[in-house]
C-alpha cells in the first residue's frame, strides 16, 4: 500500500491524471527510483504495481484515514512548522545522459524555511 500511494503522489505531482497516466509514469521509473519507492523484487529487478493494482488500491483508500496519515506525517516532519509545501520543478538545461530533463521534488517548512527533503525524480511524461 505505501508503495502505491507514494507512486500515485509522485505521479500526481508530475502532472499525471488518472489511473492509466499514473501507471504509465510508474512504468517509466528507472531501477533506482523503483527501489526508492519500495517496489517489490523479482528476478533481480523491481516491479511497479500494475494499473489494475493502482486503481484497485486508490478506490479503496478512505479519504479521512489518508488525511489523518498525512497530518501525522506533517506533525512528525514539520514539528516547528505549521504547514509544509511540496513542490516540483523541471530544471532547465539540466539534461541527463539519456537526454531527459532533471526533475526535483522538495518539501519545505513555511515558518522555518527548512528543506526537509529534496530528491531528483525520474522524467515526468
What DSSP state is assigned to residue 100? P
Residue for grid cell 516491479: 47
pTM comes to 0.59
Given a contact cutoff of 8 angstroms between Cβ atoms, the answer to whether 26 and 47 are in contact is: no
User: Taking all residues of the chain, what is their mean pLDDT, rounded to a whole number?
Assistant: 81
Helix (H), strand (E) at residue 66: helix 63-77
Confidence grade of residue 77 (pLDDT, cut at 50, 70, 90): low
Which three three-digit cell numbers place residue 91?
530544471
Q: How far apart are CA 35 and CA 25, in angstroms?
A: 15
Question: Taking residues 89-117, what's their average pLDDT?
Answer: 73
Amino acid at each position: 500500500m505505501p508503495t502505491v500511494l507514494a507512486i500515485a503522489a509522485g505521479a500526481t505531482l508530475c502532472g499525471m491524471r488518472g489511473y492509466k497516466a499514473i501507471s504509465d509514469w510508474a512504468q517509466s521509473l528507472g531501477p533506482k527510483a523503483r527501489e526508492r519507492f519500495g517496489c517489490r523484487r523479482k528476478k533481480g529487478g523491481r516491479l511497479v504495481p500494475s494499473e489494475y493494482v493502482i486503481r484497485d488500491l486508490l478506490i479503496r483508500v478512505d479519504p479521512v484515514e489518508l488525511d489523518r496519515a498525512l497530518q501525522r506525517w506533517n506533525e512528525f516532519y514539520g514539528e516547528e512548522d505549521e504547514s509544509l509545501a511540496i513542490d516540483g520543478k523541471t530544471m532547465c538545461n539540466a539534461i541527463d545522459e539519456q537526454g531527459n530533463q532533471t526533475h526535483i521534488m522538495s518539501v519545505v517548512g513555511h515558518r522555518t524555511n527548512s528543506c526537509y527533503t529534496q530528491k531528483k525524480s525520474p522524467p515526468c511524461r
